[in-house]
Amino acid sequence: MPRTPSPEPKQEPARILVVGGGYVGMYTALRLQKRLKHELRGGTVEIVVVTPDPYMTYQPFLPEAAAGSISPRHVVVPLRRVLGHCRVIVGEVVSVDHAGRTAMYTTLASDEEGTGPAPLRYDELVLAPGSISRTLPIPGLADHGIGFKTVEEAVGLRNHVVEQLDIASSTRDPAVRDAALTFVFVGGGYAGVEALGELEDMARYAAKHYHNVKPEDLRWILVEASDRILPEVGPEMGQYTIRELRGRNIDVRLETRLESCENRVAVLSDGSRLPTRTVVWTAGVKPSPLLAATDLPLTDRGRLRCTPALAVDGAPHAWGAGDAAAVPDVTAPGKECAPNAQHAVRQARTLADNITASLRGAPLTEYRHAYAGSVASLGLHKGVAHVYGRKVKGYPAWFMHRVYHLSRVPTANRKARVLTEWSLSGLFKREIVSLGSLERPRAEFELAAGDVPPENPSAPPAGGPKGSP
């Protein structure tokens, strides 16, 4: 009887590990799904995305989320819905041994299990962990500073600003009132200027609904260490922005630094001492600390050293783009691509195409994109833009800002929801409700549970249950 040949051992699929679920991570995985659909169906390729959050945040909409123009849930894109053909792991990569093609990662269950970081082998690595806020050792900053990089921070800042109006309205202490109505923003880039512009607009409107707080009682200060703000839109539009902000009674201080914010007093390098309960820190970003826990080559600034094809220089099968990567700008020899969303989205497309080409043995292409320009919102119906050499300001620039970002926000679902909210906001008045209790949702239950004597936990609180006579 003839012998049945033993089956061939099943070959493991080539695993593409994408670290990070931001612009680069999500868009790269999304395009890889499309380009490698036959390989994914055939089981010869697997795409794994490891990200701390199960969603991608569209950061240009954070100022409008803080002002209440857009619902916070419409600023984020759920990764599992968009990346239906990828394996999404909500966790954090803590180190990478590229020589051994292994990443160590933790998940939400790691602490519960007590197992520590687990290994994850890969064949191709896309390292796109993004950036974190660049802070300085300023006394009091860690205790009192508020960041503006995540949707949680945007919602928290909105609640905080409305809460300050409530404090100012109810206190009898002039010092407490003045501190509550003083808002200090540090950093004159996109994040700082747009957040300040939107929140000042919202707070000025909200103040009209308080019987003892007037819009002119609010004090807004923008602190910038350099001699200009919004450098991306050019010096002329930067000067226009300063005039626009100062025309709204916003105090713009150039060549000034925050030296301390201890005891809720902002001390500036020009000698000013500003009692305030609000210090918003938007003074730049730095690469994710994960990069230092890898064996990949880094620049002096701690970013991945990449080639124009978005491959990590000297590390085959490793790729990088976005905030974490230093990518040579082939349209401006000797310079690197700016770490902004415009480059990140376009780099992700080239990156996915090059990974596909690498797997199929095809030649790689260089990332090439001439900078088109910038747009910035300064609040409702106000903005500045410098696009393809043309300078635009006021309502047209604000409209361009909305149209551009509506075209860039991922998925038709999000586009429709954002457009609907914008349309409704033109018909109805702003919402000025603070939901600060969201930050401690168990507070009321903890208070109720604390009323129960520990020796008899089944006994009702003193005075009987709610509603009893």
pLDDT of residue 468: 40
d(C-alpha 23, C-alpha 290), whole Å: 17
Q: What is each CA distance from 182 to 70, 89, 257, in whole angstroms?
A: 25, 42, 17
Q: Does residue 183 surpass a pLDDT of 80?
A: yes
Tell me the range of 223-227, 232-236, 377-381, 399-403 where mean pLDDT is highest.
223-227
Mention every residue, 6+ apart, whose C-beta is less than 8 A from residue 281. 133, 135, 141, 145, 146, 147, 148, 186, 187
Q: What is each CA distance from 466 to 12, 410, 445, 463, 469, in whole angstroms?
A: 62, 47, 14, 8, 9
Q: Tokens 């019987």 sit at which residue?
A: 211
Amino acid type, 359: L
Whether the Cβ atoms of residue 284 and residue 277 lie closer than 8 Å to each other: no
b or e along 173-201 (b: 16 or more beta carbons within 10 Å of the residue's beta carbon)? eeeebbbbbbbbbbbbbbbbbbbbbbbbb
What would the pLDDT profile of 377-410 be if each residue is shown by its tens digit? 888 888 998 887 788 889 999 999 899 889 888 8
- How many other CB atoms are there within 10 angstroms of residue 296's CB atom? 19
H/E run at residue 167: helix 151-170
Residue 377's nearest CA partner among 229, 187, 198 is: 198
- Map residue 121 onto helix, strand or coil: strand
**262 secondary structure, DSSP code:** G
What would the pLDDT profile of 54-97 be if each residue is shown by its tens digit? 999 999 899 999 988 888 889 999 999 999 999 999 999 999 99
- Predicted structure pTM score: 0.86
What would the pLDDT profile of 2-40 be if each residue is shown by its tens digit? 555 555 555 789 999 999 999 999 999 999 999 999 999
The mean per-residue pLDDT over the stretch 237-241 comes to 90
pLDDT of residue 173: 95
Return the higher-pLDDT residue of 340 and 167.
167
% pLDDT > 70, the chain: 91
Is residue 57 exposed (0-12), middle (13-18) or buried (19+ Cβ within 10 Å)? buried
pLDDT of residue 463: 43
Q: Does residue 100 surpass a pLDDT of 90?
A: yes
Q: Does residue 373 surpass a pLDDT of 80?
A: no
**227 secondary structure, DSSP code:** S
Lowest mean pLDDT among 49-53, 311-315, 433-437, 462-466: 462-466
Q: How confident is the model at residue 451 (pLDDT cuts 50, 70, 90)?
A: low
What would the pLDDT profile of 135-157 be if each residue is shown by its tens digit? 889 999 999 999 999 999 999 99
- Look over the chain and give the mean of its residue pLDDT values, rounded to a whole number: 88
d(C-alpha 94, C-alpha 215), whole Å: 47
**Taking the CA of residue 408 as centre, how many other CA atoms within 13 Å lie in the half-sphere pointing to its CB?**
18
Q: Tokens 């109805």 sit at which residue?
A: 428
% pLDDT > 90, the chain: 63
Q: Are strands 14-19 and 118-121 parallel, antiparallel or unpaired?
A: unpaired
Q: Does residue 466 surpass a pLDDT of 50?
A: no
DSSP string, 13-76: PEEEEEE--SHHHHHHHHHHHHHTHHHHHHTSEEEEEEESSSEEE-GGGHHHHHHTSS-GGGSE
